[in-house]
Amino acid sequence: MPASVVLGAQWGDEGKGKLVDRLAESATWVARFQGGNNAGHTVVIGDRVLKFHLLPSGITREECGLVLGDGMVIDPWVLDRELSDWVEGGGTDPTGSRLFISNRAHIILPFHTYVDGLDKKIGTTGRGIGPTYADKINRIGLRFADLNYCNTDEMAARQNTVLESVGCTQRVSSDELREQIDWVINRFSSAITDTGILLDNALKLGEHIILEGAQGCLLDIDQGTFPYVTSSVTSRANSTHGAGLHPGHVENVIGITKAYITRVGHGYMPTELFDEVGDHLGTVGHEFGTTTGRKRRCGWFDAVVMRHANRINGFTEIALTKLDVLGGLDEIKICVGYRMNGHEINEMPASAIALEDCEPIYVTMPGFPLLSVEEWLGIAKKCNTEGIGFQGLPFAAQNYINKLEALLGVPITSVGVGPDRDATIDRV
């Protein structure tokens, strides 16, 4: 059975966790392939709200294996806390039984968080992600495979030189590093393995694997709105590479997009709203970052962004989330192009500075009623139980979905209408 890839198609926070949680019910493995605890996934099961940063969303499915893949950067202390929270909430520690860590993944050390905490320009999460990837590219990083072989004297000396050069007051010592490394070995040795071989064998056995992305396409280090991006490749091309597989395994690529758009951190967003509609989206959509708690900037759906994301990733289907948040608006706008220096363009400029000169060109559609969370959940259950799909949605909402499909040229196969696991309508 081929692997499926689930990717964010905007600037992240599109609702990947909820979708992966649903898909994991029929999957054998869920594997993260990039990023670290700068990601945040939320899964709502009834009254229980689960927030994950490193653990793949398939953690809620006891029969599903979990992989932290080659392309990730992992803070082992954050992972330990997340596992402890999971156990305290009634779960079983999966370490070494169904949770496995790639021996090729790089380790986030306290040094990396010290350096990242100095950022004022990009608006990073401060979790040490960028500095860890920088050490990886500079070929001086620490991988799980090399824990038993590192020279802590050399490592401490190098890190302190960097800390001094960037004006950071913190320092590290060789003894502290040795203690930290020994702790990581003792805590996670049962889980550290060559996960690429594990996943390859699973595919040979016909098992279903979900490759789970973290940040969205527009945060991709190469294809995103540089420099306001993350430090890894977030797109389809890295889904297999970052998991230790070849790309021929992938057949289905699901792009996740909100029915509007949000962004956290710095960088221009052409459709950003600074009015009561923006307030409505942020309030009704509870738009605060899972990882940082920062307020998300909100705007109208941007088809230019989505065309760019689709060109890079080749989505075979789209999962639309948070359609319910648009309820109560008299009219809904969709950006179909930009006006830049007096000319109309249909594709995103590569330069973040040039993007600031882009004004959105909109089409306007009628809105649909504001409904409660319970009402939307009832609609979703009715649509799925009776097998009527999107036909159970308000007529204006159906038209909105049809318009997005026509603009993007990719089928929308599911629509989210609330935070609950069951508040998703599948197309028939």
The CATH number that applies at residue 118 is 1.10.300.10
Among the listed residues 41, 53, 106, 208, the single catalytic one is: 41
SS (H, E, C) the chain: CCEEEEEECCCCCCCHHHHHHHHHHHCCEEEECCECCCCCEEEEECCEEEEECCCCHHHHCCCCEEEECCCEEECHHHHHHHHHHHHHCCCCCCECCCEEEECCCEECCHHHHHHHCCCCCCCCCCCCHHHHHHHHHCCCCCEHHHCCCCCHHHHHHHHHHHHHHCCCCCCCCHHHHHHHHHHHHHHHCCCEECHHHHHHHHHHCCCCEEEEEEEEHHHCCCCCCCCCCCCCCCCHHHHHHCCCCCHHHEEEEEEEEECCEEECCCCCCCCECCCHHHHHHHHHCCCECCCCCCECEEECEEHHHHHHHHHHHCCCEEEEECHHHHCCCCEEEEEEEEEECCEEECCCCCCHHHHCCEEEEEEEEECCCCCCHHHHHHHHHHHHHHCCHHHHCCHHHHHHHHHHHHHHCCCEEEEECCCECCCEEECC
- Range 372-387 average pLDDT: 96
Residues 124 and 16 in one domain: no
Confidence bin at 123 (pLDDT 50/70/90): low
Residues 248 and 389 in one domain: yes
Digit-coded pLDDT (tens) for 274-320 = 999 999 999 999 998 766 677 899 999 999 999 999 999 999 999 99
Digit-coded pLDDT (tens) for 140-151 = 999 999 999 999
Residues 225 and 327 in one domain: yes
Interatomic CA distance for residues 365 and 171, integer angstroms: 57
Q: What is the pLDDT of residue 122?
A: 66
Residues 98 and 241 in one domain: yes
Joined tokens for residue 245: 């597989």
Residues 224 and 113 in one domain: no
Interatomic CA distance for residues 295 and 327, integer angstroms: 21
Residues 379 and 393 in one domain: yes
- Does residue 73 carry a pLDDT above 90? yes
Query: Which of the listed residues 188, 203, 236 is the one where a domain comes to its end?
Result: 188
Range scoring the smallest mean pLDDT among 39-53, 325-339, 394-408: 39-53
Query: Which of the listed residues 148, 173, 188 is the one where a domain comes to its end?
Result: 188
Asked if 153 is an active-site residue, the reply is: no
Q: What is the pLDDT of residue 365?
A: 97
Residues 179 and 198 in one domain: no
Residues 341 and 365 in one domain: yes
The DSSP bridge pattern shows strands 29-32 and 3-8 to be unpaired
Residues 224 and 344 in one domain: yes
CB-based contacts of 19, cutoff 8 Å, min separation 6: 6, 254, 256, 319, 321, 414, 416, 424
Residue-averaged pLDDT of the chain: 94
- Does residue 61 carry a pLDDT above 80? yes
Digit-coded pLDDT (tens) for 208-262 = 999 999 999 999 999 999 999 999 999 999 999 999 999 999 999 999 999 999 9
Q: Quick one: what percent of the chain has pLDDT higher than 90?
A: 83
Residues 111 and 227 in one domain: no
- Range 125-147 average pLDDT: 94
- Does residue 398 carry a pLDDT above 90? yes
- Range 82-100 average pLDDT: 94
Q: Identify whether the C-beta of residue 236 lies closer than 8 Å to the C-beta of residue 9.
A: no
Whether the model pTM is above 0.85: yes
* Residue 134 lies in domain: 106-188
The region that residue 13 occupies, defined by phi over 0 for left and psi between -120 and 50 for alpha, beta otherwise, is: left
Asked if 286 is an active-site residue, the reply is: no
CB-based contacts of 69, cutoff 8 Å, min separation 6: 31, 32, 33, 34, 102, 105, 195, 196, 242, 243, 244
- Does residue 366 carry a pLDDT above 70? yes
Interatomic CA distance for residues 233 and 226, integer angstroms: 12
Query: Which of the listed residues 188, 203, 224 is the one where a domain comes to its end?
Result: 188
- Does residue 352 carry a pLDDT above 70? yes
Bigger pLDDT: 347 or 265? 347
Q: What torsion do the CA atoms of 78, 9, 135, 112 make, to the nearest 10 degrees?
A: -40
Residues 14 and 97 in one domain: yes
Residues 18 and 92 in one domain: yes
- Does residue 45 carry a pLDDT above 80? no
**What is each CA distance from 14 to 18, 41, 229, 290, 304, in whole angstroms?**
9, 9, 16, 11, 17
Most confident of the ranges 129-133, 292-296, 417-421: 129-133
- Range 377-381 average pLDDT: 96
In 3D space, the residue among 167, 26, 190, 10 whose CA is nearest the CA of residue 98 turns out to be: 190
**Number of structural domains the chain divides into:** 2
Q: What is the pLDDT of residue 9?
A: 96
Range scoring the smallest mean pLDDT among 51-55, 194-198, 282-286: 51-55
The CATH number that applies at residue 398 is 3.40.440.10
Q: What is the pLDDT of residue 64?
A: 96
